Amino acid sequence: MNRFCCWLVDLLSRPLAPDERDAVRGDFAESGESAGQALRGLIGLVVRRQIALWRDWRPWMAPVGLVAPVALVLSQSSSGPSGALWIGWQLRTIWTHGVRYEAGLSPTDDIVTLFCAVLLPIVWAGSGGFVLGFLSRRNAWVHPALLFPLLWLFGTLLRALLPGRLHAALFWLLPPVVLILIPFLWGVHLGVRGVALQVGRTAWLAGAIAILTLVMQVEDGRSRLAFAAWSSGGALDGRLVWIPRLLPFAAILWQFGFIFTTTRFKESDT
Amino acid sequence: MLGEFEYLLLTATAHLGADAYGAAMRQDMEATTGRRCSIGALYTTLDRLEAKGFVKTWMGDPTPQRGGRPKRMVRVTAKGIQAAADFYGAVTRASRGVAWEAHRAGVRP
């Protein structure tokens, strides 16, 4: 086998368990197989292994761990994008006119909204990726659920390469990559490695996310009310408004319930 | 009840004794049957046999002719020996009186 074939065999054998990878590559070296035979045999083994992994129920459950957070973060029902848009609008107004947009909200409202809009997508995407990686393990990196964000990134990059659109595309690409994609892939990485979070830390994190979500929903309600008041010539009276949207809390319960359960199992195993 | 390929794999393991591992078993099976044995079929069947408790596998020491990589060593368990004996007995009983049985080839059309 030449160096390219060796590299290809090394690449293709990555989905295999480390011991099996060593044994198979050793068998190829010992039996002096041609590159074609080795590649054919290896692809056959990898395909058989992948099929065996998909017979388990866990990879099928994994998209639920992904779809819940990403859908919530990306949809208007979640506070992330609407908060981010609001901040983007404020920054644009300051950049253009030198003053912030006065709809009755205080600078504290803006800071709280910005804080939550940045932090919430990161933790949502990270925990979703963790659930996906933990459930799918060795087939996580070839899971169709993982292909959606990667295809989206690829499509946006392609659009960015069109003449004259690079700046605009990068402007819209950067926040989702930093706030969603990177934390999500990091979560998948931790999940695949089977990293166990401590129970106390898991509960603390779930509580913190629930509070952040609640604060963001309140700020979202306040900004809507401020706009309505401003449009009718009035002003916001400073009260707190909370229009309950329970879906994000249900998703927190599912994700952290899952992480909590796996942590407990890991602790009882050791 | 074992499958045909599982039986051939157990037989190769028994032939090779303490030297039974992936590459050697493939060579043995290919020499015996005259058919090519894919590495995918070998290792997935080994896993299945191990899950049934018919063989035991472990990682051996690395050797220079394997590029410093270890072998996956295989040994037939008592349960595996029993399963192979049952399969052999069933095939022998089922083959009595048929045209392709030893010394009877060509007797019947």
- CA distances (Å), origin A46, targets A40, A43, A270: 10, 5, 31
Decide if A23 and B22 are in contact by the 8 Å CB cutoff: yes
Mean pLDDT confidence for A262-267: 62
Asked if A36 is an interface residue toward chain B (Cβ–Cβ < 8 A), one would say no
Rounded to 10 deg, the angle between the B22-33 and B39-52 helix axes is 110
CA distance B47 to B51: 6
pLDDT score for B31? 92
Q: Which of B38, B62, B63 is facing A41, going by the closest CB pair?
A: B38
Mutate to test the interface with A, among B5, B30, B42, B66 (most CBs of A within 10 A): B66
Query: At A269, is the pLDDT very low, low, confident or very high (cuts 50, 70, 90)?
Result: low
pLDDT score for A238? 67
CA distance B107 to A216: 88
Domain at B48, CATH number: 1.10.10.10
CA distance A85 to A72: 15
Residue A100: closest CA among A81, A119, A118, A108: A108
pLDDT score for A103? 67
Residue type, A119: L
Residue type, A75: S
Decide if A19 and B62 are in contact by the 8 Å CB cutoff: no
| pLDDT(B88) > 90 | yes
Per the structure, the count of domains in chain B is 1
Mutate to test the interface with A, among B25, B30, B39, B74 (most CBs of A within 10 A): B39
Mutate to test the interface with A, among B44, B45, B69 (most CBs of A within 10 A): B69
Inter-residue contact A220 to A82 (CB < 8 Å): yes
Inter-residue contact A175 to A84 (CB < 8 Å): yes
| pLDDT(A233) > 90 | no
SS3 B40: helix
Contacts of A215 (CB under 8 A, 6+ apart): A112, A116
> In terms of pLDDT, which residue wins out, A1 or B80?
B80
In chain B, residues with a C-beta closer than 8 Å to the C-beta of A30 are: 23, 63, 65-66
Query: At A81, is the pLDDT very low, low, confident or very high (cuts 50, 70, 90)?
Result: very low
Residue of B nearest to A44 (CA): B40
Inter-residue contact A261 to A199 (CB < 8 Å): no
HEC states along A130-149? HHHHHHHHHHHHHCHHHHHH
| pLDDT(B78) > 90 | yes
Asked if B48 is an interface residue toward chain A (Cβ–Cβ < 8 A), one would say no
> Considering just the CA atoms, what is the radius of gyration of chain B in Å?
16
DSSP secondary structure, chain A, as one string: --HHHHHHHHHHTTTS-HHHHHHHHHHHHHHT--HHHHHHHHHHHHHHHHHHHHTSSHHHHHHHHHHHHHHHHHSTTSHHHHHHHHHHHHHHHHHHHSS---SS--HHHHHHHHHHHHHHHHHHHHHHHHHHHHHHGGGGGG-HHHHHHHHHHHHHHHHHTSTT-HHHHHHHHHHHIIIIIHHHHHHHHHHHHTPPPPHHHHHHHHHHHHHHHHHHHHHHHHHHHHHHHHHTT-------------HHHHHHHHHHHHHHHHHHHHHHH-
When mean pLDDT is compared over A85-89, A235-239, A254-258, A261-265, the highest value belongs to A254-258
When mean pLDDT is compared over A34-48, A61-75, A114-128, A208-222, the highest value belongs to A34-48
In chain A, residues with a C-beta closer than 8 Å to the C-beta of B57 are: none
Rounded to 10 deg, the angle between the A107-136 and A199-231 helix axes is 140
Asked if A267 is an interface residue toward chain B (Cβ–Cβ < 8 A), one would say no
CA distance B55 to A50: 23
ipTM: 0.81
SS3 B77: coil
Count of CB contacts below 8 A, A vs B? 69
Residue B102 domain flag: no
Query: At B73, is the pLDDT very low, low, confident or very high (cuts 50, 70, 90)?
Result: very high
| pLDDT(B20) > 90 | yes
In chain B, residues with a C-beta closer than 8 Å to the C-beta of A23 are: 21-22, 43, 59, 69-72
SS3 B28: helix
Decide if A31 and B38 are in contact by the 8 Å CB cutoff: no
Q: How do residues A11-41 score in pLDDT, each as one tens digit?
A: 888 878 888 889 998 988 888 788 888 888 8
Q: What is the pTM of this model?
A: 0.57
Q: Which of A30, A40, A44 is facing B23, going by the closest CB pair?
A: A30
**A3 vs chain B: nearest CA distance in angstroms?**
14
Residue B40 domain flag: yes
Residue B103 domain flag: no
When mean pLDDT is compared over A13-27, A49-63, B94-108, the highest value belongs to A13-27
Q: How do residues A198-228 score in pLDDT, each as one tens digit?
A: 777 778 888 888 888 888 888 777 777 777 7
> In terms of pLDDT, which residue wins out, B45 or A52?
B45
Domain enclosing residue B81, as ranges:
4-95
> In terms of pLDDT, which residue wins out, B4 or A147?
B4
Mutate to test the interface with B, among A10, A27, A49, A55 (most CBs of B within 10 A): A27
Rounded to 10 degrees, the C-alpha dihedral A80/A82/A88/A93 comes to -150
Mean residue pLDDT of chain A comes to 74
Q: Is A177 exposed, middle or buried (0-12, 13-18, 19+ CB in 10 A)?
A: middle
Mean pLDDT confidence for B14-38: 92
Residue of B nearest to A38 (CA): B39
Asked if B65 is an interface residue toward chain A (Cβ–Cβ < 8 A), one would say yes
Mean pLDDT confidence for B42-53: 93
| pLDDT(A116) > 70 | yes
**B20 vs chain A: nearest CA distance in angstroms?**
12
Q: Which of B23, B41, B43 is facing A20, going by the closest CB pair?
A: B43
Q: Which helix (H) or strand (E) holds B29?
A: helix B22-33
| pLDDT(A126) > 60 | yes
pLDDT score for A14? 81
What's the distance, CA B21 to chain centroid?
Answer: 11
